[in-house]
Structure 1
Amino acid sequence: MRRVSLQTKIHGLVLTLSLFLIILLTSYFTYMEGKQMAEDRGLIALEISKVISFMPSIIEAFELENPSEEIQPIIEKIKNETGAEFIVVGNKDGIRYSHPLPSEIGKRMIGGDNERAIQNGEYYISEARGSLGLSMRGKSPIFDKQGNIIGVVSVGYLVEDVKEQIVRNVSKELFVSFLALVISIIGSYLLARSIRKDTMGLEPYEIVNLYKEKNAVLHSVKEGILSVDKNGMINSMNKPAKKLLNVKGTVRRLKVDGLFPSSQLYDVLKSGEPQIDREMTWKHQTIIVSITPIFDDDGVSGVVASFRDKTEIEQMVNTISEVKMYSEDLRAQTHEYTNKLYVLSGLIQLGEYDEAINMIQSESSELQFLNQIVFEQIKDTKVQAILLGKLGKASEKKVRFEIDSQSYIDKLPDHIKLFQITLVLGNLIDNAFEAVYDIEEPIVKLFATDIGEDIIFEVSDNGKGITEEEMVVLFERGFTSKTSEKPRGYGLYNADSAVKELGGIIEVHSEAENTVFTVYLPKEKRGGEVWGK
C-alpha cells in the first residue's frame, strides 16, 4: 500500500480542521445573528407602537367621525421615517384606521393577535401572518383620557425582510470565512514545508527506520559512543561505553560531568574543531578518544565522542607485531636453510662428497644439540616457537645465538599470553642482535629458568654496551641509538610495558662488550592465581 506523505497529511489535517471550524462558526454566528436580528426588530416595533399609542393626536382622532382621515397621514409619515414595513391603527373591534395599502382601511385586522392588547391592555411582541405576509409585530393598546382601551397599534417588520438582511450579512461572513480558508491553506503549506525542512525531507516512517538503524549500529560497534547536546546533557550512550565507564541504568538527559572526562567535550563544543585520537586518563584507565562536533544552522549543537580502552588497541598492535615477527623469523629461517641446501647441492655436483657429509654432520650435530635444549628442556610451545624463529634469524644475520645448556622452563602459566611473551623475549633477543650488528664475532646468549617463584630470562650480548645517558631513557617510547628512516625505538618500550603488565621487572647491566638484560616474571598472577607445576 502506498504511503501518504507527511506534507499531504498536514495539508489534509489543517484544511479539514479549518473547514470544519469555519462551517461550525459560520452556522453558529448565522443562527445567533438571525435570532438577535428578529428580536431587535420585534423590540423596535414594540417601542414604535408604544410611542404611537401615547400620541395625543392619535387618541383625539378616535373621537372624530372619520378617524382614518386624521390618523393615516400621521402614520404614513412615521412609517417612512422609521422604516417599518407597516403601521396599522385599529379600534377595539379591530377595524383599521390606517394601513400601508389605503384599500385595506376600514377592514378588519388580520392575524388574530390583538386580544392581549385590546382585552388585557398588554404591550407585547408577536409573530403572525397578516395581509402583507408573515411579520414580527409590536402590539400596544390605545387608552383614552379616562383610561379606557379604545384601540390598538400594530407595528411590523416582515420576516422575509429580516431573512434577506441575514443573507446579506452571511455573505459578508462567508467572504471572511473564505479568506480564513485561504489563509489556512497557505499556513498549512508553510507549516508542512517547515516541518519537511526540519526533518531534512524525510517521511516519518523513514525517520523511524533511521532511528532503529542508528540504535542497531550504536550498540553493535565495539567502541564506546557518547553523544551530548550543547549544554552537556547526554543524548545517547551505547553499551560498550557504559561498560567501559562502569555506568549502569539510563543516562539520557543527565549531565556528562562526572561520567566522562568532559573538559575536552566542552572544548570542542566551544571551538567546533574535532579532536582525533586524544589519549586521556579516566579512573585509573587510559582511553583513546575522538570527538566530533555536530553542526546545525546556529552553529555547534552537540558533539559525539567515540573511545576505546588503550589496552585493547595496544594488544591489537602487539598482535600485529607478533605476526610480523613470526613472518620475519620464518622467512629468515627459510632463507638460511635454502642457502645451505644450495651449498650442499654445489658440493655434491662438484664431487666434494666428504665436504658435503662433514657439513651435514656439523649441521645435524648443532641442530640436535639445539633441538635437545629447545624441545626437551623448554616445555612451553610459545617459547619454543620464538626460539626456533630467532635461531633462523641469527643464522641469517651471521650471529652466534647460544642457548645455555642449563636452561629449563616448564609450561608457562595461563595468565602469560602469547603476545606478551613474544613482546618480552622477542624484542630482547632482537635488540641483542642489533647490538652486535657491527661486531666481528657477534654472540648472543640466552638463559632461561623457572626455579623459584619467578620465571627468569637472561639475554646477553658482546656488543658495545649502553652508556649511562642511554640507560636513563632506555625504556622510553621512541628512544633508539640507531639511525633509520623507519620508525624505531618501540621494542624495549613494548617489552617493558608487557613485563609491567605481568607484574615483573627488567634489570639491565652493561659494560664494555657485555650487556645483560634479565627479566623476572612472577608465576603468581595478581589476584592470587598460582601457577602449579
Structure 2
Amino acid sequence: MWSRGARRPTLAGQLLLLQLAVIAVVLAIVAVISLRQSTASFADDRGSRMRSVAEYLANVAVVRSEVGDSGARRTLAPAIDRALRLSGATTVSIADPDGIVVASSDPGDVGRPAVLEESRVREGRGWSGDVTVDGERAVAAHAPILDDRGELVGLSIAEQDYPSTWARLTDAASDLALFLGVGAALGVAGSYLVSRIVRRRTRGLGPREIATLADHREALLHSIREGVVAVSGEGRVTLLNDGARSLLGLDEDAVGRPVDALGLDPDVVALLTGETETRDAVALVRGRVLVMNHRPASSRGEGIGSVTTMRDRTEVAAVQNQLSSNLSITDTLRAQTHEFANQLHTISGLVQLGEYDEVRSLVGTLSRRRAETDAAVAERVRDPAVAALLVAKSSVAAEAGVTLRLDETSSLPALEPVDSADLTTVLGNLVDNAVDACRGRGDATVTVHLDASDAQVTLTVSDDGPGVPTELRESVFSRGFSTKPDVPGGRGIGLALVRMICTERGGDVTLSSDGDGRDGATFRVQLPREAARDQEH
C-alpha cells in the first residue's frame, strides 16, 4: 500500500492507518469508560461497607468505654482486628475527639492526626467519601463514638485503598481484555478489507497522484475551446467547462442545477439528457451554429449520466452555405452548357444537311419555349434572384429527366436582399434534393409553390420520389445524413442548412411524406421577412 519512488502511503494505506487510529481511540475511550464505571462501582460498594464497619466499631461497648483510657491502644486492638477481618478494610483506626489516632491496625498511625478532610464527624455526624492518605486515594467512612450521656468521646475510622487501574479494569469486566482484543482484530480486518477495496477503486494511486490528476483534468477541460457538459442520471449538470459555458450562455452556478432549469432550448435540453448516442447534431443556440455529440456514460454496466461535446461551427456553416450556393450555380451552368451544346450540335447537323427550314423551325421553337418559361416565371416571381434560380434549375432538372414546374397560384414580390439571399439558398437546396430523389423515375415532376405576405414567405417543394419513412423524418435534417448509402461524404448537408437558416430567422421547415413511393415528399418552409423581424425587435 505504499507508492513507489517517494515511498509515501497510498490512499488505501492512509485510510487503513486512519481507521486503525480511530479504532485505537475507540478502544481507549471504552477503557476509560470501563475504568470510570469500575471506580464508581468500587466507591459505592466499599463505601457502604466501610460505613457499616465504622458504625459497628463505634457501637462496641469496650470501644465506647475505653477510648479515652491511656491504655486504649492495647485494650482496643482486639475490636479493631475483628472489624478489620470482617470488612476487608485496609486500615481501621480509633481517634480521640481532636482527631488524634489512639489505636489503629497500622501501628505507625498511632499518635498522628487522622485524615478527616471534609468529614464532619467531630460534629457528631457520620460521613463517607474519598480521602488521600500518604498520596494514595482511599474510600473512607467516619462514625462518632458516643458515651452513655451522648457526648463525643472518639472517632471510628475505616479506610480501604483504591485498587490499581488494571485491577479495576479486570474487576469491572473479567473478559474486557478479550472484548477489546476481538474488537481490535475485527476492526483491523475490516480496515484492511476497506483499504483493499479503495486501493482497487483508485488503482493504487495516492492522494497526491489523485489530486494531480484532478488538477490536470480541470486544466484540460477549461483550456480547450470546445464545450464539454456532463449530466448525471438525475438530469443535473455535474461538469461544465468554460467553452460550454460561453457557447450556451450559462452562468457559473449552472453546475449542480437541473438541465431543464437553465433556460435552454427544449431541443438542446433533450440532446443533453438523451439516453442514446447522437453524432454531429446541429443546434442553433444564441445565433450560433453548434455541432453536438452526445454519448451516455456508464460504470460497471450501470448508467451514470452522459457527456456532450460541442463545437462552434457558425463560420464553417456560413462557408458551407456559400459553397453550396456556388456548387448549385456551377451545376446549373454545367447543365445549361450541356443543353446549349446539344442544341448547337443539332443546329450544326441540320445546316450541314442543308435543312435550313428545319433550322429556322427548331430555333423558333427553342426561343419560344425559353421565352414562355421565362415569362411564366417572371409573371409570378418578381424577385430577380429567385426567378433566375428557378429558370436555371429547370435546366438542371431537365438534364436529370425531371420536370420542374412552378405552381400557377404562386406569387412572390421583390424581396429585401437579405430575404432574397436566404430564400434562394433554401429553394436551391430543396429543389436539388427533390430532383435527386426523382432521378431515374419516369415522368417525375418537382412542383414549387411560392407565396408571400407582409410577415413571411411560404415555400413548398413537392416531388414524385419514393418519399421518406416516418422514422427518418427528423434524421434527414441532420448534418451528413443521406437516404442513399452510396453517396459521397459531401452529401447530406443541404437539408441541414435549410433547417439552420429557418431556425436562425425564427421560421420553420416541415416534412410530410407517406414513404410508400406514391406520394413522394413535400417540404414546407416558412421564413419571416426581415422587415417583420425588425418590427418585433
Q: What is the TM-score when the length of structure 2 is the normalising length?
A: 0.52
Unaligned runs of 5+ in 1: 319-416, 444-451, 502-525, 528-533
For residues 490-509 of structure 1, what are the alpha-carbon distances to aligned partners after superposition, in whole Å with 9 as ceiling and x for unaligned?
899959979x98xxxxxxxx
Candidates 257, 277, 286, aligned match of 1:254: 257
Distance 1:31 1:243 in 2: 64
For 1:237, give the aligned amino acid. L
How many angstroms apart in 1 are the aligned matches of 2:92 and 2:185? 46
Report if aligned partners of 2:272, 2:294 keep a CA contact under 8 Å in 1. yes
2:110 aligned residue: 109
For 2:157, give the aligned amino acid: S
SS at match of 1:254: coil
CA offsets 1:262-297 (integer angstroms, 9 cap, x no match): 567658857x43233445566677654332112235
**Partner of 2:168 in structure 1?**
166
- Counterpart in the other structure of 1:481: 439
Query: RMSD across aligned C-alpha pairs, in angstroms?
Result: 5.8
The amino acid that maps onto 1:48 is: V
Equivalent position amino acid for 2:304 in 1: S
- CA distance change for structure 1 residues 13 and 87 in 2, over 3 Å: closer, same or farther? same
Cα distance between partner residues in 1 of 2:325 and 2:160: 114
Gaps of 5+ in 2: 348-382, 407-429, 442-483, 502-529, 532-537
Residues 259, 54 of structure 1: alpha-carbon distance in 2 compared, 3 angstrom cutoff: same
Deviation of 1:49 after TM superposition, in Å, equals 0.6
* Aligned counterpart, 2:195: 192
CA distance in 2, matches of 1:139, 1:495: 107
- Distance in structure 2 (CA, Å) of the matches to 1:165 and 1:279: 81
Task: Report the alpha carbon displacement of residue 22 of structure 1 after superposing the two structures with TM.
Answer: 4.7
Q: Deviations over 1:122-174 (max 9, x none)?
A: 65565557xxx997553433222122444543323245x56674364489666
Q: Cα–Cα, structure 1 residues 243 and 109, in superposed 2: closer, same or farther, change >3 Å?
A: closer
Contact 1:121 1:141 in 2 (8 A): yes
Residue deviations 1:339-387 (CA, integer Å, cap 9, x gap): xxxxxxxxxxxxxxxxxxxxxxxxxxxxxxxxxxxxxxxxxxxxxxxxx
1:422 is matched with which residue?
Answer: 326
Q: Is the contact made by 1:117 and 1:152 (CA closer than 8 Å) also made in structure 2?
A: no
CA distance in 2, matches of 1:221, 1:117: 85
Residue 464 and residue 59 in structure 1: after superposition, are their counterparts in 2 closer, same or farther (change >3 A)?
closer
Counterparts in 2 of 1:110 and 1:29: CA distance versus 1, 3 Å: farther
Aligned pair count? 385
Match of 1:232, SS state, is: coil
1:305 to 303, 308, 311: 308
Q: Call closer, same or farther: CA 1:431–1:470 in 2, change over 3 Å.
A: same
CA distance in 2, matches of 1:127, 1:193: 53
Mapping for residues 40-439 of structure 1, pairs under 5 Å: 41=46, 44-55=49-60, 59=64, 78-88=83-93, 96=103, 109=110, 111-113=112-114, 123=126, 128=133, 137-158=140-161, 161=163, 165-166=167-168, 168-169=170-171, 176-196=179-199, 199=202, 201-219=204-222, 223-247=226-250, 249-257=252-260, 258-262=262-266, 272-279=275-282, 287-296=290-299, 299-308=302-311, 419=323, 422-432=326-336
Cα 1:162–1:71, aligned 2, differ >3 Å: closer, same or farther? farther
Amino acid in structure 2 at the alignment position of 1:476 = N
Q: Partners of 1:81 and 1:282 in 2: how far apart?
A: 97
Percent identity over paired residues: 15
Deviation at 1:10, TM superposition (A): 2.2
Counterpart CA distance in 2 for 1:39 and 1:490 is 96
Q: Is the 8 A contact 2:68 2:154 kept in 1?
A: no
TM-score by length of 1: 0.52
C-alpha change, 1:88 and 1:314, in structure 2 (3 Å) is closer
Deviation at 1:90, TM superposition (A): 7.5
Q: CA deviation at 1:212?
A: 3.8
1:14 aligns to 2:19 (yes or no): yes
Say which SS state the counterpart of residue 345 (structure 2) adopts: coil
CA contact (8 A) 1:117 1:141 kept: no
1:279-328: CA deviation from partner (whole Å, max 9, x where unpaired): 5566677654332112235832211123446766656778xxxxxxxxxx
Partners in 1 of 2:188 and 2:492 — Cα distance? 76
| Equivalent residues of 2:279, 2:293 under 8 A apart | yes
Larger radius of gyration, structure 1 or 2? 1
